[in-house]
Structure 1
Amino acid sequence: MSKKRKAEKLEISSARGVDGLDEAKDFLAARSIEEIECLVPDQGGVARGKIMPVSKFLKSPVMNLPLSIFFQCITGEYPDYEGLVDVVEADTDMFMQPDWSTLTSVPWASDPTAQVIHDAVTRDGRPVEQAPRQVLRRVRELYRKKGWQPVVAPEIEFYLVEPNTDADYPLKPPVGRSGRPEIGRQGYSISAVNEFDALFEDIYKYSELQGLEIDTLIHEDGAAQMEINLLHGDPVELADQVFLFKRTIREAALAHKIYATFMAKPIAGEPGSALHIHQSIVDAATGQNIFSDPETGGPTPLFFSFLAGQQKYLPAIMSMLAPYVNSYRRLTRDSMAPINVQWGYDNRTAGLRVPPSGPDARRVENRVPSSDANPYLALAAVLASGYLGMTEELEATAPIESDAKNRDFELPRDLLSAVALLEDCEPIRQVMGSSFVTAYAAIKKQEYETFMKVISPWEREYLLLNV
């Protein structure tokens, strides 16, 4: 096939991903791409990297970035490097290698632009252990060594809000096409979604142009709170999609003079936003769901051990599922979010829900993660817990049939408590990488110290003249 015909084929059939540098050249040429965004997700799931002309990128697609980007807090600050990494090493460069399977366009850019996610490697070619994408790859590799293939399907909740440039003012729902902001609960309302039809048309269009597959879009219970469900697939691929979806939704919203926020609890009195994760495991050789017995169709011991692993290790991985101080405002008894490590059949009050399904689709829905979580780390953490449950042959509790919110709290109530449990959990360190856990914990403690410098409205309201 000639280069011209090959480029034409890529333009028609492939919105996302190529096989190597030669196909990348054809992909970029077919779309007349002028610039390329070289992305790497940091610990907060923020896109870091470089933007460069395509001509320069193609001459040297492996770029350099300082290792310190994996030690940066959401505030832009850094923790003390002592005990984490040599100070000199933190400021040295690592190499960023493009993952060609993620190459796609940037449909909201004013000039023809592409983007590609990179993997971080050291100067001697080893994966950077602190890189979130590498942490997820590490966990996936443990499954592969057992002949297992994890399958996940994330559900992402978010709010649409009015533009807000003053952090002291509460967020408010935006005005829709009717000219009025949404008032009251509109769960599953079609008309409430239609208020923002033009925005969602852009989200669907941008997603299609990037090869991102949306399963369903629904209105959640909060005012202007939405949920997008993704199709199931490989954990790294789905984490990439969540990473790109967050960028896509924010950019589409900005074009309509609206903010899209993935804060766990952005508006007082409204439900929080979750990142529910559906998980199943298949035999890599046969494609059989190992949670179901092939003869009887019933649940297997591995299914219950996977559940038990998530029950046992949920408190220890909590700081990756609820990574900010705000995340814990979602996890309250009077909210719709779980506060426990119980499991049940189609019980949404439990932290772990087993949805109704046939044997081939038997899965576990982890309802604890919030939408502010880094998708790479959230997926790595829940899969690490399930892996430990299966390899340790743990036994799950009996399924809960009542309202699990009536039970005592079984999850950490704040970020510092969650970080302490993570630091002390040796099995999670072994599975996810000790150097990563140490670095992540230091970042979260530094973020907490920054938060403690802020005086909240509650303190001024109740303490100013009363104490």
Structure 2
Amino acid sequence: MTTDWTQSLPEAFRAYQGESRIEEVECIIPDLTGMSRGKSMPFYKFSPDSTFFLPISLFYQTITGEYVDIAEIPNQWTEIDIRLKPDMATASAVPWADDVTLQVINDLEMRDGTPLAIAPRNVLKRVLALYRARGWEPVVAPELEFYLTKPNVDPNEPIEPPVGRTGRKGAGRQAYSMVAVDEYGPVIDTIYDFAEAQGLELDTLIQEGGAGQIEINLLHGDPLTLADQVFYCKRAIREAALKNGTFATFMAKPMRDEPGSAMHIHQSVVDANTGRNIFSNADGSPTEAFFHFIGGSQKYLMHVMPLLAPYVNSYRRFTAGQSAPTNLEWGADNRTTGLRIPTSGPEARRVENRVIGIDCNPYLAIAASLACGYLGMEQAVAPRPEVSGEVYAGEAELPDNLGDALDLFEEEAAVKEVLGREFCALFDAIKRAELEEFKREISPWEREHLLLNV
């Protein structure tokens, strides 16, 4: 039975639905990794005012599914229920489903209505509230890099580039090649179809430098909306690849001799009342706020690296000879700096954070990056002098492994105040447990080179 609330569903969904009836609704949330969890139900069971619950323990798991004892959480294993609150502005199609299916991102609350502090979407909302209190509105535009690969069904085997329409494996070093994009035309077409059905606002798509590596840019806008779009987009890309017999991976470094995948974020801040970019003066020159945002990024980004590069594999992207910057220098139109200032007019002056990996949770990475800029503006942190020329050869400034990154994360109090101490304690515990799990593993490299040679 059609109910009144369906009339206010987004236009993209209603165009996708056509004359068909909605069969199913997915109530989903982003977990700590940025993957979707939730509940699926028949359409008649759902309404925007319905109350559904999930156990809070879903946030107590590592990427492998292992549960972690966290000392800071009293009565942890009572596994209290947390309430799902549908955000109907996020309602979207599930175009890979067999029947017409609606998906809705939910906010998470305690039973008394208090926002759940450890939920990634609420962490981002917390940071945005700090901006709003100052009369500021951040604007972001993410760039998503990922690989299409041959299906990898044996984790002990290396990941390989996909086979395209010519029957040949993808080749690297073909950045911006239209021929390389055409090689995977069916996958790309399916991604576009899914994005249109979901109302996702894609900007451009290019072939990146790796074999089978694609980059998709999203239009700039509100950070929460863009985080939702990245969340939806990653799921849609995976499904589009599977529909065409390939995998899409958002590992930061899936192949040894190919470049890693990033999620660069373009950031600016506008005055909430006037809409003016506060990074530019009336005469077009950069403002103190612009320099302080850079200064805060330089001072604090190294302390939030676990949110930008959350796994052991993340730090393989920063190895020598790769395109990922290992510094927090800044410069105009300089892709060797961690903080690039793209060429633009004064109204679009922005800071591009180039150190974030695509394996991040988009809510947490955007929150962390904006938190650093916010602290810089609040504390009037002066940046280091602008650099010119290549800085790849300079000494690495960022931590090169997850353990060191977690130590830096644990020691910085100002960041914890902005992101929330409860969340930071949980995230640190989960990541340290994942690191310990990884240390117990014996890699194929060790078996190949040490088994009979030492």
Question: Residue deviations 1:49-69, cap 9 Å, x none?
Answer: 010111111286221000111
Q: Which residue of 1 aligns with 2:81?
A: 93
1:32 aligns with 2:14: no
**Aligned position for 1:364:** 351
- Rounded to whole Å, the distance in 2 between the matches of 1:235 and 1:181 is 37
Alignment pair present for 1:14 and 2:11: yes
Structure 2 residue identity aligned to 1:36: V
Q: Against the structure 1 CA distance between its residues 84 and 209, is the aligned structure 2 distance closer, same or farther, given a 3 Å change threshold?
A: same
**Is the contact between residue 17 and residue 100 of structure 2 (CA under 8 Å) also seen in structure 1?**
no
C-alpha root-mean-square deviation of aligned residues, in Å?
1.9
Distance in 2 of aligned mates of 1:40 and 1:185: 37
Equivalent position of 1:430 in the other structure: 417
Written as runs of structure 1 = structure 2, the 5 A alignment for 1:208-219 is 208-219=196-207
Q: Partners in 1 of 2:158 and 2:198 — Cα distance?
A: 34
Question: Is the aligned partner of 1:169 residue 2:157?
Answer: yes
Measure the CA separation in 2 of the matches of 1:326 and 1:55: 43
Q: Please tell me the residue identity of whatever aligns with 2:286.
A: P
Distance change >3 Å, CA 51–CA 297, structure 1 → 2? same
* Partners of 1:217 and 1:227 within 8 A in 2: yes
Which one of the candidate residues 297, 300, 303 is aligned to 2:284? 297
Q: Aligned partner of 2:373: which letter?
A: G
Shift of 1:466: 3.0
CA distance in structure 2 between the aligned counterparts of 1:92 and 1:441, rounded to whole angstroms: 21
What's the counterpart of residue 246 of structure 1? Answer: 234
Q: Give a deviation string over 1:285-342, Cα, whole Å, max 9, x none.
A: 0000000001x10000000000010101111000000000000000123100010111
Instruction: Tell me, in whole angstroms, the C-alpha distance in 1 between the residues paired with 2:126 and 2:18.
Output: 34
User: Shift in Å at residue 85 of structure 1?
Assistant: 4.3
**Conserved in 2, the CA contact under 8 Å of 1:349 and 1:405?**
yes
1:202 deviates by 1.1
Equivalent of 1:130 in 118, 126, 129:
118
Match for 1:198 among 179, 186, 189?
186
Q: Which moved more, 1:219-228 or 1:404-413?
A: 404-413
Matched, 1:181 2:178: no
The answer to whether residue 451 in structure 2 is matched with residue 454 in structure 1 is: no
With over 3 angstroms needed to count, the CA separation of the structure-2 counterparts of 1:6 and 1:425, relative to structure 1, is closer
Native 8 Å contact 2:327 2:338 kept in 1: yes
Q: Retained in 1: the 8 A contact 2:48–2:88?
A: no
The 1:187–1:62 alpha-carbon spacing in structure 2 relative to 1, beyond 3 Å, is same
Where 2:312 maps in the other structure, the secondary structure is coil
CA contact (8 A) 2:172 2:212 kept: no
**Unaligned 5+ runs, structure 2:** none
Change (3 A) 1:54 1:28: farther
| Structure 1 unmatched runs, 5+ | 18-25
Contact 2:149 2:159 in 1 (8 A): yes
1:378 corresponds in structure 2 to 365
Q: Are 1:111 and 2:111 an aligned pair?
A: no
- Superposition TM-score, scaled by structure 1 size: 0.94
Aligned ranges for residues 310-349 of structure 1 at < 5 Å?
310-349=297-336
Alignment equivalent of 2:56, drawn from 60, 67, 70: 67
Is the 8 Å Cα contact of residues 10 and 27 (structure 1) preserved in structure 2? no
Q: Which residue of 2 aligns with 1:102?
A: 90
Displacement, 1:6? 9.8
Task: State the alpha-carbon separation in 1 of the partners of residues 415 and 113 from structure 2.
Answer: 25
For residues 40 and 366 of structure 1, the distance between their equivalents in structure 2, rounded to whole angstroms, comes to: 26
Asked if the contact 1:10/1:30 (under 8 Å) is kept, the reply is no
Provide closer, same or farther for how the CA distance between residues 68 and 28 of structure 1 changes in structure 2, counting only shifts above 3 A: farther
Question: Which residue in the other structure is 1:22 paired with?
Answer: none
Measure the CA separation in 1 of the matches of 2:60 and 2:13: 30
After superposition, what is the alpha-carbon deviation per residue over 1:125-154, rounded to whole angstroms, capped at 9, x for unaligned? 100000000000000000000000000000
Residue 444 of structure 1 corresponds to which residue in structure 2? 431
The structural deviation recorded for 1:78 is: 1.8
Identical counterparts, % of pairs: 53
1:197 positional shift: 1.2
Select between 230-239 and 190-199 the one with higher mean Cα deviation: 190-199
* Structure 1 position 199, deviation (Å): 1.3
Which amino acid in structure 1 is aligned with residue 31 of structure 2?
A: D
* AA of the residue aligned to 1:185: R
User: 1:154 is matched with which residue?
Assistant: 142
8 Å contact kept, 2:172–2:258: no
Looking at structure 2, the residues matched to 437 and 253 of structure 1 have their Cα atoms a distance apart, in angstroms, of: 34
- Aligned residue type for 2:201: E
What is the CA distance between 1:443 and its match in structure 2?
A: 0.6
Question: Which residue of structure 2 aligns with residue 42 of structure 1?
Answer: 31
State how far apart, in whole Å, the 1-side matches of 2:256 and 2:371 are.
33
Alpha-carbon distance between aligned partners in 1 of 2:120 and 2:243, rounded to the nearest angstrom: 30
User: What is the one-letter code of the residue matched to 2:380?
Assistant: E
Kindly indicate whether the alpha-carbon contact (under 8 Å) linking 1:78 and 1:446 is maintained by their aligned counterparts in 2: no
| Contact in 1 for aligned 2:107/2:122 (Cα 8 Å) | yes
CA distances 1:160-182 after superposition (whole Å, capped 9, x unpaired): 00001100000111111111111
Question: Aligned letter for 1:310?
Answer: S
Counterpart CA distance in 2 for 1:447 and 1:413 is 17
